[in-house]
Structure 1
Amino acid sequence: MTETFISLLSILIGIIGANSIGFFLKKYSFGIVGNTIAGVFGSILVMKTFGRLGFNPLAIMENGTFNGLLFSINCIVSFLGGVFGLIAIRLIKSKLNKE
């Protein structure tokens, strides 16, 4: 695997996280397109913010070797990033609609 493939896979996992939460919790859903956009931005935001702790794609593929533990942490954080992105957008929308 390359760093680019791991990054794209992380974004895909974030999309899956946002769409799955939107499917199970209907009040947070923005439809397929809205959930996908929230998953992309949530995953990227969380990975860029917390990836410096050592589970970014460059650390996973350091010296050409694959680190499975860091990859699994990356997948979990990407999934949670998609979920948090969807929840954050829902909170922002509810705040804007109150006024």
Structure 2
Amino acid sequence: MTCLKHAELRFVRDPLSRFLWRYLFPVQFTLGVLGNLLNLGVLASDEVQNVASDMLAAVSFCDLAFLLSMSPHSLSSFDTLAYNYNFRYFYLKSKQHIAAVANWMSAAAIW
């Protein structure tokens, strides 16, 4: 068994991608989750009952699910989690499934 260097264990090696996943996505995640929760709160109220508000609530739910499913990809860019064996096991076993869910949620939000 060969030992790998810490740089070889990283999931995200490109400096630009590392910057985007570590700094830009958490801001987008926070604003997106807060905005979509606010939308769901308003659109799911009893005062607004029509088909358009139901569709907008569905889009908001899909956006929220997309952001939540992309969070493990962002977490993998942090070295603390990238070197953690439990996180690596979970992430490598479920990466394709998480990407599939994110793809479906993105497609549902676009339609």
TM-score, structure 1 length as denominator? 0.38
Q: Which one has the bigger helix percentage?
A: 1
Q: Which has the larger radius of gyration?
A: 2
